[in-house]
Structure 1
Amino acid sequence: MPASPSTARAINDRSALELLRRHGPLTAGQLKQLTGLSRPTVAGLVERLQEAGLITVVGEAGAERRGPNARLYGIVADRAQLAALDVRTEGLSVVVADLLGTVLTEKSLPIDGAMGTEPAVEQAVALLEEAAADAGAGRLHSVGIGAPGLIEPATGRLRDTTGLPAWHRRLVDALRERLPAAVVVQNETNLAAVAEQRVGAVQDRDTFVMLWLAHGIGAAVMLDGTLRRGASGGAGEIGFLPVPGAAGVPSASSCDGGFHSLVGAAAVCALAAEHGLGSGHEGDDESAAVATVGAAVHAPGEPRAAAFLDALADRLALGVASVAAILDPGCVLLGGAVGRVGGTVLAERVEQRAAALSPLRTEVRAGALGGTAVLRGALLTAQDMAHDDLFAPGS
């Protein structure tokens, strides 16, 4: 049964908007070529989308051409404002952006772990409100949040996880209660993987696994372009993986005896110390691990640095080989700040060692976005929500 004229128009409009979102400003002629629609049909949808305030003329394709087909049409960026939050154990970062994802303002705030839950939540909400005001956003349309911990698949809520601050979970609820906006929270590692696939190191892959190397260890599983979160939202909790070399085995309440104990930030710092290395960096374990790995990578002629990177690669290869044995993704990305600073120097070492442990060929790459990946993924999620709403047929 053929679609009704109104349904066909809605489908064509949505198709044109998606093309403008993906490619940026286009002429009517380019829209005709990309959609395969007739010239009158394209002219009609351009007129409808302009009247709806969704697109506008943003320039011309070239001085040699004049007339309607030379005009460049683009999505109206200020039709909606978006926000993204990267919630960490010790604080959070916020960005506010327009509908095209252009960042208008960004802020960060450390939060004292000794502070009570409600004061911490109030500080976090105030930071978002301040950022929105600075960006001139009268009303946020969508808010994407990246946080450590598990997300309940049925409710989309953060689970009450031991070891994480209580204000994390309360913040999400508070934002949903107080903002006239769509608010969604996702596991930080999953959001980082989305960002790396859309704008980072694995844009050519629709199947891969990302190991998130930070204070803690996580993994994101992307199969055929779809994130796999697991029955309870716990797919990728690779820190609990029992591996050789760990002191003991993990338990239901602690990953101290698992993969985390070999490649978490504190373990990386301890491994460096065993090789006579130290960053001299004052601060948390993650920052120290990043500084130490970076220094080792940039000291190729230093025997202790090479030995340290070899030992770290041996440990990481255990995780890569385990992932390959279960999922055979063909590609594993070393994400997070440690993965990025390790670069190809560390990634190539890990790939060589994983090849000796598994018959399944697995390419190992370094992430391109580092610690910014979570915020980028949260912003992409907010952008997707806004586009789905504003560009929906009949909206």
Structure 2
Amino acid sequence: MLVENEVNLVALAEHRLGAARGQENFALIAYGPGVGMAVFLDGRLRRGRSGGAGELSYLPVGLEGGPYHRAIDTWTTASGDFLREGGPEALDRMAEVVAFGVVGACAVLDPGFVVLAGHHGRAGGAALAERVAERIGVAIPLPTRVVAAAVDGDPVVRGAVQVALERLLDQTFS
């Protein structure tokens, strides 16, 4: 039996079908309700000892006085649909908050490639990715490309289907 978390499934879908296709090293950070991160290094999804690799949401921050996920949740709940209601200023503020987590991930992992996923990451799209890339370029000397997630439909389901197909092929040809 294989159990996988949602963010890892999204990363698998993006690696096989989307924005991270062909990338050997990348981090996918999902901003929705909460924050999650999947880590791909040397072409493999890395889960850590207990499956908690990439739990960026527990990063302690000064924003809102608590962990990173609370800062994101508080800000996005207060802002509602930041693109529709807040315009470029709200997108700039979201980029500042998102860049904090991306800089942390890059400083530790140096993935060179970051995919912004989840509800807010996808809603911000290329405009958010561009703003985040500008901010991390000033904050750290590690060259990092930032892109928006690209898998259509439900990326969790698409990732689960990829896992199932790969397991089926492994059983069929082994």
TM over 0.5: yes
CA deviations over 1:239-270 (Å, ceiling 9, x no partner):
000123231xxxxxxxxx21101223x53121
Cα shift at 1:210: 0.4
Give the Cα–Cα distance (whole angstroms) in 2 for the partners of residues 356 and 244 of structure 1. 20
Judged with a 3 Å threshold, the aligned counterparts in structure 2 of structure 1 residues 200 and 338 are, in CA distance, closer, same or farther, namely same
Distance 1:331 1:358, change over 3 A: same
- Higher relative contact order by CA 8 Å / sep ≥ 6: 1 or 2? 2
Over 3 Å counting, the alpha-carbon distance change for 1:244 and 1:359 in structure 2 is: farther
In the alignment, which residue of structure 1 is the partner of 2:126? 344
- Name the counterpart of 2:64: 246
Equivalent residue number for residue 94 of structure 1: none
The answer for the alignment partner of 1:262 in structure 2 is: 71
Q: Secondary structure, in 3 states, of the residue corresponding to 1:185?
A: coil
SS of residue paired to 1:186: coil
Matched AA of 1:230: G
Q: Which of 168, 180, 194 lines up with 2:12 in the alignment?
A: 194
Give 5+ residue unaligned stretches, structure 1: 1-182, 248-256, 273-277, 279-291, 297-303
> What is the total number of aligned residue pairs between the two structures?
174
Q: Which structure features the higher share of helix residues?
A: 2
Does the Cα contact within 8 Å between 1:336 and 1:373 map onto a contact in 2?
A: no
Q: TM-score, normalised on structure 1?
A: 0.42
Q: Is the 8 A contact 2:83 2:91 kept in 1?
A: no
Aligned position for 2:89: 307
Runs of 4+ in 1 over 3 A off after TM superposition: none
Which amino acid letter does the alignment assign opposite residue 244 of structure 1? Answer: G
Hey, what does 1:125 align to over in structure 2? none
Q: Which residue of 2 aligns with 1:65?
A: none
Opposite residue 35 of structure 2, the aligned amino acid is: I
Correspondence list, 1:1-395, <5 A:
183-247=1-65, 257-264=66-73, 266-270=74-78, 272=79, 278=80, 292-295=81-84, 304-369=86-151, 372-392=154-174
Asked whether the equivalents of residues 337 and 371 of structure 1 are also in contact (C-alpha less than 8 Å), the reply is no
TM-score (norm 2): 0.93
Residues 1:376 and 1:388: Cα distance change in structure 2 (over 3 Å): same
